[in-house]
Amino acid sequence: MTHENLPGQPHLAYRGNELYCEEIRVSDLAKDHGTPLFVYSKGAMLAALAAYQRGFAGRKVQICYAMKANPALGVIEVFAEAGCGFDIVSGGDLERVLAAGGQPGKIIFSGVGKTRAEMRRALEAGIGCFNVESEAELEVLSQVALSLGVCAPVSIRVNPNVDPKTHPYISTGLKDSKFGVAHERVLPTYQRAAKLAGIRVLGIDCHIGSQITQEDPYLDAVERMLDLVEAIEAVGIPLQHIDFGGGLGIDYSGETPPDAGVLWQKLLARLDARGFGQRDLMIEPGRSLVGNAGVCVSEVLYLKPGEHKNFCIIDAAMNDLPRPALYQAFHQIVPLNPRQDVPETWDVVGPICESGDWLGHDRSLAVQQGDLLAVLSSGAYCMSMASNYNSRGRAAEILVEGSQAHLIRRRETMADQMQSERLVGIKSK
Ligand code: LLP
C-alpha cells in the first residue's frame, strides 16, 4: 500500500486511494458526521509544540497558546494538559480556558480594548499577567484593581516598529498600527505604571505580526526589545519576564518558515550574547501550533462548467473558512479519494450569495459531483472566525488521536442559532 505524505502536513497521508488523518480514514469521519467538517490531529499539535520545547530546552519559558487561532475547548484541553499557558483577548476566551481546565496563573490577557468588566473577572480569576496596550488602559486597570483591593500584574506591550513582511491586515508591530505602546512612549509608560498603586510591573511584551516566514523581523524585534529592557531597568524598574509574542508562519503553499526550535535557538543566542539568556521568557504562538493540524472536509455539491470559468461548488463556504475571502489567503485543496481522470481547472466556491465566497481559484482537480475534498491548513483562524452568515450553522469539529476520533463540537443546529432571538409578535397586537 502506498503511503504518501502531503507536504507540510505530517499527520495526513494517502494510503492507497484514501486520505488518512493519523490512523483514521477521513472519508469515514465525513460519512459519520457530515460535512463541512473540521478534523484536527492531536499528534500534529503536540509535534508543533515539541518544536518550540526543543528550542527552549534548559530555559525558563512559558509557552502561552494564542487561543484566538482555535478556541475549541477540546483544543485548549490538549495544550492545558501539555502544560501550556494561554494568551487570551477577551472575557469569553478567559471563560473557555477556565472551562477547559487551564491554570489561571498561566493566562496572559492581550488586546487593545479590554473592558472594566473583563478586567474585573480576570483579576478575580487570578490571571498571570495583563499585557497592557495603552497608557489609558493602564489607568483604568489600576482603578479596577484597587476597587477589588488587589494589584494587577502587568506587562506593557511595546510596538517595536519592525516590518514583519506579511499581509498588512496581520502586521501589528509597525508605527501606524493600533497595537502596543509607541516606542517613544514606552519609558514614560513604565514610569507611570511603577507609580500606580493598583499596578505591579512584571514584564514587557511585543507581537509584531502573524504568518511571518522570515527570521529577520524576529531578530530585529529581539534586539529592539532588549534595548528597551535595558533602558527601563536603567531607570530602576526591574522586569521579571520578556514576552516575544507569536507570529511564526506555516507552510500553506510552499512557504518555508523557519522551524520553531531552530529559530528560537538562534534568538536565544542573541539573548545570551546580551546577558538576558536566563530571564523568564514567554511566547504566544497560535497558528504555528494548530494551523497545519487541521483540515476542513467538504462535499462537492455541483459542477458548473462555463465558457470562461469552471465552478466547483462545495458545501463549505466563507462563513466556515473566511481566510480566502478576507486575506486572499491560499489553502491547498485535495481530494479525499483521488481520481485517475485528467484534471481540469476549477474555481472552488461555496454556496454563499457573494462573489467573495471562494475557497480556491484556478485549482487543478479531477473531481465529480459527490466527491469529498479537504481544504488543508485549516486548523488556525478558520473555525475561530466562522460565522452564521446566510443562516449557516457552524461545522462540527473532530479531534483525532491515533485511531480514536473525538467529536469536540457537534454541528450547530437551527435551534442553536435561533435560541437567543425573539419574535416581536406584531401580528397579535
Ligand atoms: N499574540 C498576539 C498579541 C496576537 O495578536 C496574535 C495574533 C498572536 C499572539 C498569535 O499570532 P500567531 O502565532 O497565530 O501568528 N486571522 C488572521 C490572523 C490574525 C492574528 C491576530 N493576532 C489570519 O487568519 O491570518
The 10s digit of each residue's pLDDT in 274-297 is: 999 999 999 999 999 999 999 999
Q: Is residue 64 part of a domain?
A: no
Q: Are 220 and 195 in contact (CB under 8 A)?
A: no
Would you call 53 exposed, middle or buried from its count of C-beta atoms within 10 A (0-12, 13-18, 19+)? middle
Could you say which of 285, 316, 333 is where a domain stops?
285
Active site residue 353: yes
Grid coordinates representing 226? 532588549
Give the separation between CA 357 and CA 135, rounded to whole angstroms. Answer: 40
The last residue of a domain, from among 285, 301, 328: 285
User: Can you tell me which atom of ligand 1 is nearest the CA of 212?
Assistant: 15
Q: Which of 233, 252, 285 is the last residue of a domain?
A: 285
Clarify whether residues 155 and 271 are in a common domain: yes
Q: Is the CB of 331 under 6 A from ligand 1?
A: no
How far is residue 260 CA from its own chain's centroid?
15
Cα separation, 32 vs 308, whole angstroms: 37
As a whole number of angstroms, the distance between CA 302 and CA 306 comes to 13
- Considering the domain boundaries, does residue 309 fall inside one? yes
Do both 270 and 359 map to the same domain? no
User: How far, in Å, CA of 82 to CA of 84, rounded?
Assistant: 6
User: What is the domain count for the chain?
Assistant: 2
Site to substitute for ligand 1 among 284, 288, 318, 327, most atoms within 8 A of C-beta: 284
Tens of pLDDT, residue by residue over 81-131, are 999 999 999 999 999 999 999 999 999 999 999 999 999 999 999 999 999
Shared domain for 268 and 301, answered yes or no, is no
261 and 164 belong to one structural domain: yes
Which residue is it, cell 479537504?
Answer: 374
Output the domain CATH number for residue 220.
3.20.20.10
152 and 120 housed in the same domain: yes
**Nearest-CA neighbor of 391 among 416, 410, 370?**
416
Which residues are CB-contacts of 250 (< 8 A; sequence separation ≥ 6)?
A: 8, 211, 257, 287, 288, 291, 292, 377, 380
Q: Which atom of ligand 1 is nearest to the CA of 249?
A: 15
SS3 81: helix
Report the C-alpha gap between 193 and 173 in whole angstroms: 22
In whole angstroms, what is the distance from residue 217 CA to residue 245 CA?
A: 12
Instruction: State in Å: Cα 278 to ligand 1 middle.
Output: 27
> What's the CA dihedral at 228, 230, 236, 242 to 10 degrees?
70
Residue 386 lies in a domain: yes
Q: Which domain holds residue 164?
A: 110-285
The whole-number pLDDT of residue 7 equals 78
Q: Whose CA is nearest to atom 9 of ligand 1?
A: 246
Question: What residues pair up with 291 in beta bridges, in sequence order?
Answer: none
Judge if the beta carbon of residue 324 lies within 6 A of ligand 1.
no
Degrees, nearest 5: CA angle 365-21-24: 115
- pTM passes above 0.85: yes
Residue 62 lies in a domain: no
Measured CA to CA, the distance from residue 15 to residue 43 in angstroms comes to 18
| Interval between CA 324 and ligand 1 midpoint (Å) | 16
- Intervals of the chain under pLDDT 50: 1
Together in a domain, 321 and 227: no
| Cβ–Cβ under 8 Å, residues 271 and 61 | no
198, 255: one domain: yes
In a domain, 156, yes or no: yes
Question: Tens digit of pLDDT for each residue in 312-330?
Answer: 999 999 999 999 999 999 9
